[in-house]
Amino acid sequence: MRPLLWIASALAVARAEDGLDGWLRYARLRDCHTGGQLDDFATSIVALNATEGAPLHTAAHELQVGIQGILGLELDVSDSVTDKDTSSIIVATAQAYEDEFGSLPEAVDLIEDGFYLSNKGDDTVIIGSNERGALYGAFEYLSMLAQGNFDEVAYSTNPDAPIRWANQWDNLWDNGTHGPVERGYGGVSIFYDGVGHVREDLSRVPMLGRLLASIRVNGIVINNVNADPTILSERNWDGVEEIANLFRPWGVRIGMSLNFASPQTFGGLDSFDPLDDQVIDWWQGISDEMYERVPDFAGYLVKANSEGQPGPLTYNRTLADGANMFAKTIAPHGGIVMFRAFVYNHLADWTDWHADRANAAVEFFAELDGQFDDNVVVQIKYGPIDFQVREPVSPLFSTLRETAMAIELQVTQEYLGQQCHLVYLPPLWQTILDFDLRVDGQESRTRDVLNGNVFGKKLGGYTAVTNVGMDPTWLGSHLSMSNLYAFGRLAWDPTLDSGAILDDWTRLTFGLGRSVRETIRAMSLESWPAYENYTGNLGIQTLTDILYTHYGPNPASQDNNGWGQWTRADGDSIGMDRTVRNGTGNAGQYQPEVAARYEETETTPDDLMLWFHHVPYTFELHSGKTVIQHFYDAHYAGAETAATFPKRWETLRGRVDDERFEHELYRLTYQAGHSLVWRDAINEFYRNLSGIPDVHDRVRHHPWRIEAEDMTLDGYVPVDVEPAETASQYRAVVTNGTGTAATTLDFPDGTYNLAVNYYDVVGGNATYSVALDGKTVGTWQGDAEFRLGKFPSEFLDGHSAIRVTFEGVPIRRGDELVVTGVADGSEQAPLDYVSVLPLGVVD
Ligand SMILES: *[C@@H]1O[C@H](CO)[C@@H](O)[C@H](O)[C@H]1NC(C)=O
Ligand SMILES: *[C@@H]1O[C@H](CO)[C@@H](O)[C@H](O)[C@H]1NC(C)=O
Ligand SMILES: *[C@@H]1O[C@H](CO)[C@@H](O)[C@H](O)[C@H]1NC(C)=O
Ligand SMILES: *[C@@H]1O[C@H](CO)[C@@H](O)[C@H](O)[C@H]1NC(C)=O
Ligand SMILES: *[C@@H]1O[C@H](CO)[C@@H](O)[C@H](O)[C@H]1NC(C)=O
Ligand SMILES: *[C@@H]1O[C@H](CO)[C@@H](O)[C@H](O)[C@H]1NC(C)=O
Ligand SMILES: *[C@@H]1O[C@H](CO)[C@@H](O)[C@H](O)[C@H]1NC(C)=O
Ligand SMILES: *[C@@H]1O[C@H](CO)[C@@H](O)[C@H](O)[C@H]1NC(C)=O
| Protein residue whose Cα sits closest to atom 5 of ligand 4 | 353
Ligand 8 centroid to Cα of residue 783, in Å, is 6
Q: Phi, psi (5° rounding) for residue 575?
A: 115, 155
Ligand 7 centroid to Cα of residue 737, in Å, is 9
Nearest atom (ligand 1) to Cα of 54? 5
Tell me if residue 414 is catalytic: yes
Task: Give the model's confidence band at 32: pLDDT under 50 very low, under 70 low, under 90 confident, else very high.
Answer: confident
| Alpha-carbon span 405 to 399, nearest angstrom | 11
Give ligand 7 pocket residues (Cβ under 6 A). Answer: 717, 734-736
For 4-21, write each residue's pLDDT tens digit. Answer: 434 333 333 345 799 999
Report the pLDDT value the prediction gives residue 179, as an integer from 0 to 100.
Answer: 84
| Protein residue whose Cα sits closest to atom 10 of ligand 7 | 736
Is any ligand 6 atom within 6 A of the Cβ of residue 729? no
**Strand 705-707 versus strand 712-714 pairing type:** unpaired
| Alpha-carbon span 173 to 193, nearest angstrom | 8
| Number of neighbouring beta carbons within 10 Å of residue 433 | 24
Nearest atom (ligand 7) to Cα of 735? 13
Report the pLDDT value the prediction gives residue 792, as an integer from 0 to 100.
Answer: 83
pTM over 0.75: yes
Report the pLDDT value the prediction gives residue 81, as an integer from 0 to 100.
Answer: 79
Report the pLDDT value the prediction gives residue 7, as an integer from 0 to 100.
Answer: 39
Pairwise pLDDT comparison (101 vs 85), residue with the higher score: 101
Ligand sitting nearest the alpha carbon of 716: 7
Ligand sitting nearest the alpha carbon of 527: 5
Ligand 3 centroid to Cα of residue 281, in Å, is 24
Whether 2 has a pLDDT exceeding 60, the answer reads no
Task: Give the model's confidence band at 82: pLDDT under 50 very low, under 70 low, under 90 confident, else very high.
Answer: confident
Nearest atom (ligand 5) to Cα of 533? 1
- pLDDT > 90 fraction of the chain, expressed in percent and rounded: 94
Mutate to test the pocket of ligand 8, among 666, 779, 780, 783 (most ligand atoms within 8 A of CB): 783
Give ligand 8 pocket residues (Cβ under 6 A). Answer: 765, 783, 786
What domains sit in the chain, N to C, each tagged with a CATH number? 3-157 (3.30.379.10), 163-510 (3.20.20.80), 555-576+614-690 (3.90.1330.10), 705-838 (2.60.120.260)
The catalytic residue among 113, 182, 414, 709 is: 414
Q: Phi, psi (5° rounding) for residue 704?
A: -105, 10
Ligand 2 centroid to Cα of residue 261, in Å, is 17
Nearest atom (ligand 1) to Cα of 98? 13
3-class SS of residue 811: strand
- What's the mean pLDDT in 327-353? 96
- Distance set, CA 381 to CA 51, 378, 490 (Å): 39, 10, 16
| Protein residue whose Cα sits closest to atom 4 of ligand 7 | 736
Mutate to test the pocket of ligand 3, among 316, 317, 318, 321 (most ligand atoms within 8 A of CB): 316
| Protein residue whose Cα sits closest to atom 4 of ligand 3 | 316
The catalytic residue among 241, 321, 386, 760 is: 386
Is any ligand 6 atom within 6 A of the Cβ of residue 730? yes
3-class SS of residue 591: coil
The catalytic residue among 99, 109, 270, 307 is: 307
Task: Give the model's confidence band at 37: pLDDT under 50 very low, under 70 low, under 90 confident, else very high.
Answer: confident
Mutate to test the pocket of ligand 7, among 736, 761, 831 (most ligand atoms within 8 A of CB): 736
Residue 5 class from Cβ within 10 Å (0-12 exposed, 13-18 middle, 19+ buried)?
A: exposed
Ligand 7 centroid to Cα of residue 817, in Å, is 25
Q: What is the 3 state secondary structure string of 721-736?
A: CCCHHHCHHHEEEECC
For 528-573, write each residue's pLDDT tens digit. Answer: 999 999 999 999 999 999 999 999 999 999 999 999 999 999 999 9
C-alpha distance across the termini of the chain, in Å: 71
Is any ligand 4 atom within 6 A of the Cβ of residue 614? yes
Report the pLDDT value the prediction gives residue 178, as an integer from 0 to 100.
Answer: 76
Ligand 4 centroid to Cα of residue 582, in Å, is 6
Is any ligand 6 atom within 6 A of the Cβ of residue 688? yes
For 771-800, write each residue's pLDDT tens digit. Answer: 999 999 999 999 999 999 887 899 999 999
Mutate to test the pocket of ligand 4, among 614, 615, 617, 619 (most ligand atoms within 8 A of CB): 614
- What's the mean pLDDT in 830-840? 97
Ligand 6 centroid to Cα of residue 555, in Å, is 12
Report the pLDDT value the prediction gives residue 83, as an integer from 0 to 100.
Answer: 66
Distant-in-sequence, close-in-space partners of 21: CB < 8 Å, separation ≥ 6: 11, 12, 15, 207
- Distance set, CA 82 to CA 56, 74, 79, 90 (Å): 19, 19, 9, 12
Whether 187 has a pLDDT exceeding 90, the answer reads yes
Report the pLDDT value the prediction gives residue 324, as an integer from 0 to 100.
Answer: 98
| Alpha-carbon span 193 to 553, nearest angstrom | 33
Ligand 1 centroid to Cα of residue 613, in Å, is 59
Is any ligand 3 atom within 6 A of the Cβ of residue 315? yes
Cis geometry, peptide bond prior to residue 723 (ω within 30 degrees of 0) = yes
Please provide the average confidence, as pLDDT, over all residues in the chain. 96
For 662-680, write each residue's pLDDT tens digit. Answer: 999 999 999 999 999 999 9
| Number of neighbouring beta carbons within 10 Å of residue 827 | 26
Report the pLDDT value the prediction gives residue 85, as an integer from 0 to 100.
Answer: 62
Tell me if residue 307 is catalytic: yes
Distant-in-sequence, close-in-space partners of 584: CB < 8 Å, separation ≥ 6: 353, 354, 355, 356, 358, 359, 576, 577, 578
| Protein residue whose Cα sits closest to atom 13 of ligand 3 | 315
Is any ligand 4 atom within 6 A of the Cβ of residue 354? no
Is any ligand 3 atom within 6 A of the Cβ of residue 806? no
| Alpha-carbon span 798 to 632, nearest angstrom | 18
Ligand 7 centroid to Cα of residue 736, in Å, is 6
For 683-724, write each residue's pLDDT tens digit. Answer: 999 999 999 999 999 999 999 999 999 999 999 999 999 999
Whether 750 has a pLDDT exceeding 60, the answer reads yes
- What's the mean pLDDT in 99-121? 96
| Alpha-carbon span 497 to 184, nearest angstrom | 27
Ligand 4 centroid to Cα of residue 708, in Å, is 43
| Alpha-carbon span 222 to 202, nearest angstrom | 13
| Alpha-carbon span 209 to 186, nearest angstrom | 17
Report the pLDDT value the prediction gives residue 5, as an integer from 0 to 100.
Answer: 39
